[in-house]
Amino acid sequence: MTAPATTGLQSASDQAERLIALGVHERAELTATAFRDAARALPDGDDGRSLLAVHPAVAPASVLTSLLRRADKPGFVVVDMADVDSFGPIDGISVPDSPVYLAQRPDRGDEMANWSPDEALPAILGAGRSPLLLTEGIAWLLQRVEVLERGRCFMTIGSRLRRPDGRGDARTPAIWISGGTGRDGAANRNAPKVGWCWAGNRHTWLGFASCAGRVGPAAR
């Protein structure tokens, strides 16, 4: 799996400084020092291919989305996804027990554009990778907003809402660029948009973001 902007991420410490500058540590009710220390506890290396992700329990998707900026427009969540923060990791995804962790070698999954989420998930898992969580996808854009390109945006099917009967909700989250139409409103044209698509539907402009794995603090 290859796609533009899968490399070139800064060190975990530098990414932490970017998030601190945006105020993520305050939203997570952590001091800047505690946030830095959590990032420093993560393993080094991976040649700029590891994303510093924030645990969704510390900074949920709605909080991170509000910090996104593209073309001077703030990010937003679609109005019919008020339950966005209830979307949690699907079965089989283990999130490190740390305020921040590394999602290794994120990839936009362009080659799966026009696949449905139901088709993409087994392909991602079969390649030995893991679908990105929504919070991981947003964190990626907080570091490199250019990853989001018109016509080449992505889904984050590692997050799903669990229904009371135990089954997954039919909605699967995605991040794309608003056209400013409909309920989005003209003021949101070109803004980063967190929305959803049905699990069985295909969209030509949406790939399926994934990572090679997740790493927490190094054992001491």
Q: Is residue 119 part of a domain?
A: yes
Per-residue model confidence (pLDDT) at position 164 = 79
The pLDDT, as a whole number, for residue 45 is: 62
Q: What is the DSSP string of the chain?
A: ---TTSS----HHHHHHHHHHHTHHHHTT--HHHHHHHHHTS---STT-EEEEE-TTTS-HHHHHTT-EETTEE-EE-TT-TTGGG-EEPTT----SSSEEEEES-B--GGGTT--HHHHHHHHHHTT-EEPPHHHHHHHHHH-GGG-BTTBEEE-TTEEPBPTTSSBPSEEEEEEE--S-GGG-GGGTT-EEEEEEETT---TTEEE-EESEEE-PPP-
Q: How many domains does the chain have?
A: 1
Give the pLDDT score at 154: 98
Assigned domain for 4 exists: no
The answer, yes or no, to whether residue 7 has pLDDT greater than 70, is: no
Mean pLDDT check: name the lowest of 132-136, 149-153, 167-171: 167-171
Assigned domain for 47 exists: yes
Q: Which domain holds residue 42?
A: 12-215
Query: Average pLDDT over the chain, rounded to whole?
Result: 93
Let me know if residue 149 belongs to a domain: yes
Residue 220 lies in a domain: no
* pLDDT value at 1 more than 60: no
Q: Does a structural domain hold residue 156?
A: yes
pLDDT in tens, 20-68: 999 999 999 999 999 999 999 999 766 678 999 999 999 999 999 999 9
Share of the chain above pLDDT 70, in %: 95
**Is residue 139 in a domain?**
yes
pLDDT at 13 over 70: yes
pTM of the model: 0.94
76-101 pLDDT, tens digit each: 999 999 999 999 999 999 999 999 99
| Inside any domain, residue 179 | yes
pLDDT given for residue 34 in this prediction: 97
